[in-house]
Amino acid sequence: MSALEQFAPLPLQESWDNAGLQVGLTETEVSGALLCLDVTEKIVDEAVSKGCNLIVSHHPLLFRGLKTISDLTDVQRTVRKAVRQDICVISMHTNMDNAVGGVNYVIAQKLGLTDVRFLVPTSSAPTESGSGVVGELTEPMAADDFIIQVKRTFGVECAMCNELLRRPIRRVALCGGAGDFLLDDAVKAGADAFITGEMHYHQYFGYEQQLQICVIGHYQSEQFTTEIFEEIIRQACPGVKTLTAETCTNPIYYL
């Protein structure tokens, strides 16, 4: 937990977030760490079956406090199962989004962007941080080719876009997850394209031929976060077994 928080300090998380320790005792010796995006009952079952007593997730299991721990909701059932199985759960959410080398930097790396920097730097944070990133493609691309490359890189069935930009795309802004709040910041940064995981319907209006919007799904945009966890643990705790969860927790199906 110390290694993860050194990379992405908890003060970097948003005020509404609940990153950090979710369930369990940190004094317990680690038998193995299962890395995932979401914590569900099936994820706990997978951890048990693989001999892992630690789960490291991106999305917190507990966003808000529980007044009851029963079997009424999936969160309550998951908490009970984790406690019964002596599973420790740690989540690195918006602090990992906002950290240097965090979620958005990995997305930029997968796309081959260069000169990557924060889209909106956070001046008040104790260390360098910010929301979203912006970078450059090594070569300009036509909008349709760019979208095909994004779909291929993230393995998405479809991308939700506004009308195709009729100029080459070179500068790309992005934010994993729900990043629509950065849309106007992408325009101010001179971006030709903006990639995010989800966006509200009405926000697609008004950017025609100004910015190529490409929305690829919340889960899909953040799927490589586990690679960050693995690298941090491998470097700081080389004796700890790390496994990427095989259980897909994406609740959205494309039919």
Residue 252, in any domain of the structure: no
| In-domain check, residue 14 | yes
Residues 136 and 183 in one domain: yes
| Domain assignment present for 249 | no
Asked if 105 and 121 sit in the same domain, the reply is yes
Predicted TM-score of the model (pTM): 0.95
Q: Are residues 233 and 170 in the same domain?
A: no
- Tell me the percentage of the chain whose pLDDT exceeds 70: 100
Indicate which CATH number applies to the domain containing 75: 3.40.1390.30
Residues 147 and 187 both lie in one domain: yes
My answer on whether 116 and 21 are in the same domain is no
pLDDT of residue 194: 98
Which of 174, 197, 200 lies closest to 185 in space, CA to CA? Answer: 174
Are residues 75 and 57 located together in one domain of the fold?
yes
| Sign, CA torsion 67/72/74/77 | positive
One domain for residues 116 and 197: yes
> What digits encode the pLDDT tens for the residues 63-122?
988 999 999 999 999 999 999 999 999 999 999 999 999 999 999 999 999 999 999 999
In a domain, 231, yes or no: yes
Residues 146, 240 within the same domain: no
Q: What is the pLDDT of residue 42?
A: 98
**Residue 81 sits in which domain range?**
2-93+224-244
23: pLDDT strictly greater than 80: yes
- Whether residues 56 and 160 fall in one domain: no
Quick one: pLDDT at residue 64?
A: 86
CA 35 to chain CA centroid, nearest Å? 12
Do 128 and 176 lie in one domain? The reply is yes
- 64 and 131 fall within a common domain: no
Judgement on whether residues 113 and 207 belong to the same structural domain of the protein: yes
